[in-house]
Structure 1
């Protein structure tokens, strides 16, 4: 019998797991995929939102601003990459000024500091490549960018360090109430728990509706993106938004934390919870709309495209709380944008819900910090020499585009919740994320995975479900 089972190892589930790992609890995370960060959390903009566009008084607004304020401290403690590059919302003519003013007032009401509306000339001093049609902008200095994989993995690894059990390749099939507890049937057997935390992304409605007569509906909202080479990464410094619509914040142009340029996403409501393929129409929409914000975009530098699904709840609000007719079952549903930003605050919010239900005793040996994978070529020469003396694998470049060494890949495989697939290595080290998109390094990474995991080459996968080692 577990104290708490969390369904879903995305950024919300892992942030909750890490926060609850402070306490003397038996916690398990169930994830149907072969790795963490395989759902909504792996395919998003990587934006730390300021909190200006969430409706005042909503849970979204509260957790967005709190999560934003926590990001500096958490990125240092858990060693993931984060930068406050600031955000801008552009309008195309004088008729858009009232909308900017409304966002400004909303942001102030939500507690966002430092915002101001800039005329075109002022904005061009900060961003010379704003499109010729941009009339004015709302400047939000507190906006930022983060590595979404790095953040998700950091929370998961620290939770695992503190005793949380992760069951990967474990798909929930049925949830039943048994007395005061819950029985969860999966493809890997039956689990029993006192409390369930439902952080299952686009599938959160499926699990909620298994235990409650008060049904909810999550609509998968597909977003297409284009990623440009690092040669285009300095086109803009800020994250450039368009005025938001009822379907979200619109197509953005932003530098990534690793120096690329990212365009997107679209917002297309679908019913298929697995439909993550891009479409020609969606990508064309991205390319056309982003030119309204930024000029001189070098579209020939696109190195890849991808799509992700956001978990949109029909009322557009986060659903976080104990289900009224299913005591002990806690929803963390409808976590679309700004879910990544809000994740640190979501962890605390769910902890407080549990604290009202059960006694939480802190551990004496809680590990507060986690160290990420060292990027070898960023180290001073003296440190590089020390690493090489301890492990010659750091002297072997595997991914030439991103300059990733074999030592870094070995670390990715053997650390807590280590990589078992090509995508797992890629998300932890960036091997395969460069200009050639793994065209050259794939065979070598496969060889390393096969050797270290004692598998045949034919058993190495790009991604996908597999029983955990």
Structure 2
């Protein structure tokens, strides 16, 4: 019997897990994929929103602003990339300037700091590449960018070292009320828990509706993105939005914390909860919308495209807290944008409710800090020499595009909740995220993964499940290959 089970190891579930690890509770996270950060958390805009768009008084507004304020300190505590670059909302028609004023007033009601409407030549002094059609823009200096993979992994790793258990490849099939809590069936396994936290993204309505008469309805909203090369990374310095519509904040253009340029997302409601394919029509629409914001957006420097799903609940707000008719069942449902920005605050909000419900005591031995994998690409010559002296593998470059070494890849595998797949390595180290998109480094990464995990390369996957990288052997090199050894 567990005290708490969390369904979902995305950024929200991982944030709740990390905050619950402060308490003397037996906690388990169930995740249907092979790793953390495999759903919405891995395919989004990587934006920390300032909080000017959410309706004042809503949970979205509260969690967004609180989460945004927590993020910088959290990035230092858990060692993940974060940069406060500010955001701009563009207005292209004189008659729409009052809409910027409304947005500014909403932000001020939400206690967003430093909002300012900018007109005239200052527009292009701040961003020279913006369209000459821009008539005014709202400036939010507290807007920021972050690495969503590193954030989610950092939260989960810290939860793990503080005692939270994780079960991957564990898809929940059924939840039933029990005498002392809930019984959760996942394949042939049955778990029992006193409290349950539902952080299942686009599937959160399914699990809520198994136990509560207050039915939720989540529509997946697909957003397609284009990621451009680092040569385009300085095209803009702020995150550039257009005036929002009922379908969201629209297509943005933003630098990333890793030096790339990102454009997206589109917004298309889809019936399938796992439809994350890109389309020619979607990417064409994205390109046209991006080019409204700026002149000569370097879309020809695209190195990849991808799509993600946002969990849009019909009520329009986050659904947080204990269900009225399901004692001990806590929802974190409808966590669409600004979910990434809100995650730290949601973690605190729900963990405090669960701890109060369980009358749990705080630990005195909680470890709040965590160090990331050393990054050779960003290290000084002195730091690189020190790393190589400690482990010569840090001098063996595997991914040339991103300058990722064998030492970093080994570290990613050996860490708490270590990488088990090619994508797991990619999210932790950026090996394969450069211009060639794994074209050169994948075979070496496969070799290291197989050796470290002591398995055959034939067993390795791109992203868990049935995504096998290799289907067979052309030439028998003996038993060494089968063991995954050189």
TM-score range, shorter chain: over 0.9
Q: How far apart in 2 are the matches of 1:188 and 1:147? A: 36
- After TM superposition, the structure 1 = structure 2 runs for residues 254-293 of structure 1, keeping only pairs within 5 Å, are 254-293=254-293
Judge which range, 379-388 or 309-318, deviates more.
Answer: 379-388
* Structure 2 CA distance for partners of 1:188 and 1:371, relative to 1, 3 Å: farther
Does the Cα contact within 8 Å between 2:78 and 2:155 map onto a contact in 1? yes
How far did 1:198 drift? 0.1
Q: Equivalent residue of 1:310, what SS? A: strand
Query: Aligned pair 1:320/2:347, yes or no?
Result: no
Gaps of 5+ in 1: none
In 1, Cα distance between the equivalents of 2:118 and 2:87? 12
State the shift of 1:465 in Å: 3.1
| Cα separation, partners in 2 of 1:170 and 1:89, compared to 1, 3 Å | same
Contact 1:398 1:406 in 2 (8 A): yes
Report how far residue 458 of structure 1 moved: 1.1
User: Do the aligned residues in 2 keep the contact of 1:208 with 1:331 (CA within 8 Å)?
Assistant: yes
- Closer, same or farther: CA 293–2 of 1 in aligned 2, 3 Å: same
SS of 2:292's partner is coil
Q: Distance in 2 between matches of 1:142 and 1:202?
A: 29
- Separation in 2, partners of 1:377, 1:274: 34
* Alpha-carbon RMSD: 0.9
- Does the CA-based 8 Å contact 2:83-2:146 persist in structure 1? yes
Taking structure 1 as reference, are residues 405 and 61 closer, same or farther at Cα in structure 2, changes over 3 Å only? same
Q: Is the CA contact 1:170–1:188 (under 8 Å) kept in the aligned structure 2?
A: no
Q: Which residue of 1 aligns with 2:411?
A: 411
Task: Between 124-133 and 233-242, report the one with greater CA deviation.
Answer: 124-133
Name 2:221's counterpart in structure 1: 221
* Equivalent runs, 1:158-177 vs 2, <5 Å: 158-177=158-177
Partner secondary structure for residue 90 of structure 1: strand
How many residue pairs align between the two structures? 466
Q: CA deviation at 1:385?
A: 1.9
Paired residues of 2:320 and 2:332 also in contact (CA < 8 A):
yes
Aligned match of 1:57: 57
Scaled by the length of structure 2, the TM-score of the pair is 0.95
Task: Determine the C-alpha separation between the residues in 1 that align with 2:111 and 2:6.
Answer: 31
Secondary structure in 2 matching 1:16: helix
- 1:310 is matched with 310
Deviation string for 1:391-447 (max 9, x for gaps)?
111111000000000000000000000000000000000000000011000000000
Write the distance in 1 (CA, Å) between the matches of 2:196 and 2:61. Answer: 25
Please tell me whether the aligned partners of residues 377 and 384 of structure 1 are also in contact (alpha carbons under 8 angstroms): no
Structure-1 separation of matches of 2:378 and 2:257: 15
SS of equivalent residue, structure 2 residue 151: helix
Counterpart in 2 of 1:87?
Answer: 87
Task: Determine the structure 2 residue equivalent to 1:143.
Answer: 143
- Do the aligned partners of 2:253 and 2:290 also contact (CA within 8 Å) in 1? yes
Q: Which residue matches 2:73?
A: 73
1:367 is aligned to 367
Q: Is the 8 A contact 2:31 2:169 kept in 1?
A: yes
Question: Which residue of structure 2 aligns with residue 211 of structure 1?
Answer: 211
Q: CA deviation at 1:188?
A: 5.2
Which residue is 2:336 aligned to?
336
In structure 1, the residue matched to 2:463 is 463
Q: Secondary structure of the residue that 2:306 maps to in structure 1?
A: strand
1:441 equivalenced with 2:441 (yes/no): yes
Matched, 1:119 2:119: yes
Distance 2:194 2:310 in 1: 29
Q: Contact 2:23–2:355 at 8 Å: present in 1 too?
A: no
Q: Is the 8 A contact 2:20 2:355 kept in 1?
A: no
1:381: how far off? 2.4
**Matching residue of 1:186:** 186
2:250 maps to 250
Q: What SS class does the counterpart of residue 152 from structure 1 fall into?
A: helix
C-alpha contact 1:171 1:188 (8 A) present in aligned 2: no
TM-score w.r.t. length of structure 1? 0.98
Structure 2, unaligned runs of 5 or more: 467-486
Structure 1 residue 120, shift from structure 2 partner: 3.5
| Alignment-derived partner of residue 32 in structure 1 | 32
Deviation, structure 1 residue 464: 2.2
Structure 1 CA distance for aligned equivalents of residues 14 and 384 of structure 2? 32
Following TM superposition, where does structure 1 have runs of at least 4 consecutive aligned residues deviating by more than 4 angstroms? Answer: none
Shift of 1:107: 0.3
Distance (Å, rounded) in 1 between the aligned partners of 2:342 and 2:378: 30
Cα offset, 1:297, TM superposition: 1.0
For the pair 1:202 / 2:202, whether they are aligned, the reply is yes
Q: 1:151, 1:405 → 2: CA distance?
A: 21
The offset of 1:360, in angstroms, is 2.1
Structure 1, 345-354 or 165-174: larger mean CA deviation: 345-354
Conserved? CA contact 1:120–1:134, under 8 Å = no
Change in CA separation of 1:233 and 1:188 when aligned onto 2, cut-off 3 Å: farther
* Cα contact 1:29–1:164 (8 A) shared by 2: yes
Instruction: Look up the SS of the partner of 2:358 in the other structure.
Output: coil
1:296-341 per-residue CA deviation (whole Å, 9 max, x = no partner) reads 2112100100000000001210000111111110010000000000
215-224 vs 346-355, which moves further: 346-355
Cα gap change, 1:76 to 1:188, in 2 (>3 Å): farther
